[in-house]
Structure 1
Amino acid sequence: MRPSSRLITLWVIVILVVLFITLSAKQAASGLSWLEPAAGLLVAVALLVTVLDWLLSKRSLNLHITRNMPDHFSVGKAHDIELSVVPKTRLKRPVKITVYDLYPNTWQVSHRALHLDLMPDRGTLTQYQATPVLRGDAEFLGTQYSISSHWGLWQLFKRINTPTTVKVLPDFSRILGANLIGLQRWLELMGAKRIRRHGQGQDFHQLRDYSDGDNIRDIDWKATSKMHKLITRTYQEERDQQLIFLLDCGRNMRTLSGDLSHFDHALNAMLLLSYTALKHGDAVGLITFNHPQVRYMPPRKGTGHLSRLVNTVYDVQPTQMAADYETAVNQLLQRQQRRALVVVLTQLDQEDNQHLLSQLQRLKKRFAVLVASLKQVERDAIQQQSLQSLDDAHAYVGAQMYAAQEQQMLRQLTAQRVLHLNVNPQQLSTALINQYLELKRHGSW
């Protein structure tokens, strides 16, 4: 409870009046001596009103507040949260209250305070928008409300402790939106290449009449001789293949690119490619590494598996751990017996390059391997800036050395025939999907 602006105003007026009376009584004739007792009476009345209003506020209104919100939230997206406010006792008159929802303190909200008018014999609904800024678990501690005392001299605060934990998931609305416009159209909007389904490594689908643009090598001459017209074979991509992600959660993935870390860019790209692979009938699994609590999800098929993948990694954050590719490879070799495409999502670093190369050779003996690394675009920007100081020169030399070492690592991957991508974080999703579709086209695993 705290004094309201009305109480402060009241006492300011009382003090000014008392001072005026006191000074006037000292300067006036003896006939105005009654002013001093009047000043004392004014103070006593003001004090009585203040105390009485305080005592009456102890029996102030109690409220029942419930929150209606989504089952889960998406990071960076605004969500509507509705509060239902119902008095526990019957009101005799309208009451003004202010409600504060105790949302996670890092969230951005449209209204911090909700001002309401409670009417007799009914409750009220109010809502605001909240935008999470971080993935993971978030907690609503409860609600708090303030109400004025009977004469408005005091502001009473009450808190309702109802802790509620919610999940904040990556923003994969584009994935869900793909169902509305069709997968191929969605891929085209993202910049993914449209790939015709033909060639080796494909499952035979059906025979149909030849049409302009069909590959002459796909003509079925035996069927053509029987039907007396050109008949061509059509193929569909092999299904029931397996795709497994090795997701680096180490310190190199903490680098920021725009508003997101490299880890978040890699996570979003993994989810987008997972959805694409699941739609193509493949099974998708994952293993995290450089993380104290390794997350493992065995390969499963069906688009419903996407939600399990999301719930496995939605709260994972990049750590301060150094790269340990050996442990990740050991875990994969122990758990995965069937041949699969293994996508290593990481960031190249000069201290770990040789270690990574040796572990990739172990993987290649059993699996098809694709290394997808994220470029440090900030270092590219440093190389394009003009040099104004010694610090600028040091940063430039460091960026040049890093770029040279990165190119050397890429040449080594090429020499060892390890398929790899090294792209800007914002381009990772499209590059991964294009590479996956290209591998599917050629039946490369």
Structure 2
Amino acid sequence: MTPSRNLPIIMAALFLLALPLGTLSAIGIAVPHWLDSLWWSLLLAVVLLAALDALRLQHRTSPQLLRRLPDRLLAGRWNTVELEIHPSAAKPLTVAIFDHVPDSMTSENLPAALFLLPGKTTRFSYRLRPLRRGHFHFHYCEIHLPSPWKLWQQRRLLSLPEEVHVYPDFIRLYNAQLTATPLANRQGRQRQPHSGTGQEFHQLREFREGDTLRQIDWKATARRRTFISREYQAEAEQRILFLLDCGNRMRSRDGELAHFDHALEACLLLAHIALRQGDAVGLATFSTPQQRYLAPAKGQAQMNALLNALYDLESTRQPADFTAAVGELLDRGQQRSLVVILSNLRDEDNDELPVALAPLLRRHAVVLVSLRETVLDRLRRRPVASFEDTLAYQGAMTYLDARENLHRQLMTQGIALLDTSPDELAPRLVEHYLARKASGAC
């Protein structure tokens, strides 16, 4: 409990009144006795009133509060939260309210001064912006309650527990993609027929130069007494499986977000687009004790399942183990899919990675996304003006050359590789998917 502004003002007025009385007594001028008695009576009255007012405040019932949160909060986006206040006082009351939001969120319009009328519900809204995704808790709402005579105010913490889930704002990336590229038109364009050895039977035709023996339909050949080939096209509906690295190499940070967050948002963006195309989408994680796996499925329900599986997933300090990740994936017995691996390749992967991915390539198409630190690009472009600059430039070029050698080695195995900065990851991944979809290479 603390004094309001009124009590110090009253006390200051009393002491200002005592100042001339004391001055007159000090210079030997007689002061009427009744003035002295009056001042002490006023002081005693103020003290008694203040004590009584404090006692009444202690017994004053707190208003009832109700917090209304959106069903889903998006990281980085402003959301509206409503507080509903039911007063318990029999007279009008002015209170100050402050909602204790989680540390990882910022707010606007708090604290707020509200005028409460007896028997009437008051509603107040403030804006809330989560800075990161995850699972968070609200615990208290703080209210500053005045005493009946406005001499005191009391700070009370009202228990108002609530849980909230904050999801990645992949729709922001989707809208940006629509603005930057003619994505909406490209999603709706017709697939081109793709002759050859896709996965879906298209038609029978006469054998042509370049056809393989596997394409020959021997029963049709016997009936027609000429070689007949089966023509295939890529399946109109595909299966996409993300393999997301959650290990220590994804903890690198460029700007506000870590590489892991860029990769996660890119996965959700591509999943959103692929599901709208009718494809089945799934996800598996590795290098984390919190293993997440969603079998490929279609429809909006799968998008909700992906959001619920990933919203609180964090990167760890574990090293990337590609061999174990590929082994676990193959043990699940997946149908042929487009496997999109998101990681940050290093020069130490030269020996393990090509061997680890070889079994995966025999059963699936593989796209390997390697995130590149933007600081390397800056070092490569920065003018060399000192010996320290020379060392930094040489170190960056040596590291980048080792990465490029690994990339070339992987591409010779038939792996599609995207080497990209975090900011360009989402648009480049979507462009690659749409190009594969249009060509029938998925």
Contact 1:25 1:36 (8 Å CA) reproduced = no
1:20-419 to structure 2, matched below 5 A, reads: 20-30=20-30, 32=32, 36-89=36-89, 91=90, 93-174=91-172, 186-187=183-184, 196-200=191-195, 201=198, 238-387=235-384, 391-419=388-416
Aligned residues: 409
CA deviations over 1:276-319 (Å, ceiling 9, x no partner): 22223222111111112111111112232111011101111122
Which letter maps to 1:197?
Answer: Q
What displacement does 1:125 show? 0.9
Question: Using the alignment, how far apart are the partners of 2:262 and 2:31 within structure 1?
Answer: 86
Q: Quote the RMSD (CA, aligned, Å).
A: 2.8
Contact 2:25 2:31 (8 Å CA) reproduced = no
SS in 1 for 2:348: coil
Contact 1:387 1:393 (8 Å CA) reproduced = yes
CA deviations over 1:103-131 (Å, ceiling 9, x no partner): 11221211121111111331111101111
Question: Using the alignment, how far apart are the partners of 1:30 and 1:177 within structure 2?
Answer: 85
Contact 2:251 2:258 (8 Å CA) reproduced = yes
Which letter maps to 2:169?
Answer: D
Question: Using the alignment, how far apart are the partners of 1:150 and 1:58 within structure 2?
Answer: 11
Which letter maps to 2:85?
Answer: V
Question: Using the alignment, how far apart are the partners of 1:356 and 1:177 within structure 2?
Answer: 35
Question: Using the alignment, how far apart are the partners of 2:331 and 2:140 within structure 1?
Answer: 46
CA deviations over 1:391-443 (Å, ceiling 9, x no partner): 54443333222221221111211222221111122222222222223333444
What displacement does 1:60 show? 2.1
Which letter maps to 2:358?
Answer: Q
Question: Using the alignment, how far apart are the partners of 1:258 and 1:104 within structure 2?
Answer: 22
Q: 1:69 to 1:247 in 2, by over 3 A?
A: same
CA deviations over 1:216-269 (Å, ceiling 9, x no partner): xxxxxxxxxxxxxxxxxxx99624432111101112212222322211111111
Question: Using the alignment, how far apart are the partners of 1:429 and 1:193 within structure 2?
Answer: 19
Tell me whether 197-206 or 400-409 shows the greater mean CA deviation: 197-206
CA deviations over 1:100-158 (Å, ceiling 9, x no partner): 11211221211121111111331111101111110011211132211211221111222
TM-score (norm 2): 0.84
Tell me whether 388-397 or 156-165 shows the greater mean CA deviation: 388-397
Contact 1:202 1:441 (8 Å CA) reproduced = no
What displacement does 1:49 show? 2.2
Question: Using the alignment, how far apart are the partners of 1:387 and 1:39 within structure 2?
Answer: 81
Q: 1:27 to 1:397 in 2, by over 3 A?
A: farther
Aligned to 1:3: 3
Question: Using the alignment, how far apart are the partners of 1:388 and 1:400 within structure 2?
Answer: 16
Give the gaps of 5 or more residues in structure 1. Answer: 207-234
What displacement does 1:271 show? 1.1
Q: 1:186 to 1:2 in 2, by over 3 A?
A: farther
What displacement does 1:29 show? 2.9
Question: Using the alignment, how far apart are the partners of 1:236 and 1:49 within structure 2?
Answer: 91
Question: Using the alignment, how far apart are the partners of 1:396 and 1:341 within structure 2?
Answer: 37
Q: 1:398 to 1:112 in 2, by over 3 A?
A: farther
SS in 1 for 2:351: helix
Q: 1:3 to 1:195 in 2, by over 3 A?
A: same
Tell me whether 62-71 or 382-391 shows the greater mean CA deviation: 382-391
What displacement does 1:274 show? 1.2
Question: Using the alignment, how far apart are the partners of 1:329 and 1:429 within structure 2?
Answer: 24
Which letter maps to 2:249?
Answer: N
SS in 1 for 2:313: coil
Which letter maps to 1:15?
Answer: F
Which letter maps to 1:386?
Answer: P
